[in-house]
Structures are given as C-alpha cells and as structure tokens.
Amino acid sequence: MTAKTETTQVYRVYIKASPEAIWDAITKPEWTERYGYTGLVDFDLRPGGAYKVRPTEAFKKESEANFGGELPEVIIDGEVVEADPPRKLVHTFRMLMDPGMAAEPYTRLTYEIKELDDKVCSLTLTHELEGAPNLASLVRGDQEEYGAGGGHAWVLSELKTLLETGKVFAE
C-alpha cells in the first residue's frame, strides 16, 4: 500500500445519456454553469492545454456575501494531460479560492466515460490528491456544513439529474 492510493478518491455514476452529452456537460461552460459549483470551465482540449474555471456573476456575489473578500478571476487552474473525446479526460487541478488550498500541489483528475447497455453510460471520476489534504476534504464533501458544497458526489449527482431530466433541483 503506497500513500498515493490512500489519497485517491474514486466516484462512479450511471447516467442515461450519450457519451457525447456527458463529455459536453464536463467540458463546456454552458453546461458546467448549470450544476454543482456552477463554475464556467475553459478547456484547451489538448495535452499541455490550459484548464481554467471562472466564477459566474451569481457565484461571485454569493461567495463575497458569505465569506467576504473578492474572488480571483480564475478560481481553479490546471493543465490538460490527455483528451480523448468522448471517452477520457485527464487534467491537473488546483483550487485558488482558498489560500490553504492554493498552496497545495496540483492534483490530478481523470474522467472515464464508458457506454453500457440500454443507452446508459458509466462515468468514473478518479481524483489523485497526494499532498493536498485541504482539497481532499473539500471534494469529499466534509466542508458542506460551512457552505462549501457537497464535493464530487454532490456534483456528479447534479450532473446526472441535469442530463436525465434537463434541470437540477435548485432550478
């Protein structure tokens, strides 16, 4: 058992949607602003390409009202490692909203989309979080009671609901 496997988190969700629809929902800002943390993603989908997430105006206002201070223009940054649409996406990830997390090393996210029977896909998200205990706690949903959202499980649950019903609970 290495330290690496212990700091990895794995999530899987089954979604009644095409692999292309799921891919778009992960990589296009018009989709990502509709579920989970509602960040506007900006992917340069090639190895070495930039990955940035910017806050929506609504998110900015809410965050500034709840936590004070001004949000940076880019709240998450990273780099694309592998992009194989609509099957596999690997990119690095660093959260910049919180100084403690911004000081942690880049972590690594892998999305894998597999088409199963009956127009159902499995989406598996692996987050390698070596050396990033603060981010690990956030994405596990440990800080939900402090208004930090429910982490990956919550985001994926909302993503499934959005793709299958066309809306999320909050809408």
Instruction: State the minimum distance, in angstroms, from the CB of residue 127 to other proteins.
Output: 11
Among 10, 105, 119, 147, binds other proteins (CB under 8 A): 10
Q: Is 9 in the site for other proteins (CB under 8 A)?
A: yes
Q: Is 11 in the site for other proteins (CB under 8 A)?
A: yes
Name the residue among 170, 169, 162, 171 with its Cα closest to residue 32: 162
Q: Is 135 in the site for other proteins (CB under 8 A)?
A: no
How many chain residues bind other proteins (CB under 8 A)? 23
**C-alpha to C-alpha distance for 22 and 86, rounded to whole angstroms:** 8
Residues 99-128 contacting other proteins, CB under 8 A: 120, 124, 126
- End-to-end CA distance of the chain, in Å? 44
Residues 138-167 contacting other proteins, CB under 8 A: 141, 150, 153-154, 156-158, 160-161
Name the residue among 73, 80, 75 with its Cα closest to residue 27: 80
DSSP code of residue 71: P
**C-alpha to C-alpha distance for 131 and 167, rounded to whole angstroms:** 36
Q: With respect to other proteins, which residue has the nearer C-beta, 18 or 157?
A: 157
Residue carrying the six token digits 């990502």: 32
Residues contributing to the site for other proteins (CB under 8 A): 1, 5-6, 8-14, 120, 124, 126, 141, 150, 153-154, 156-158, 160-161, 169
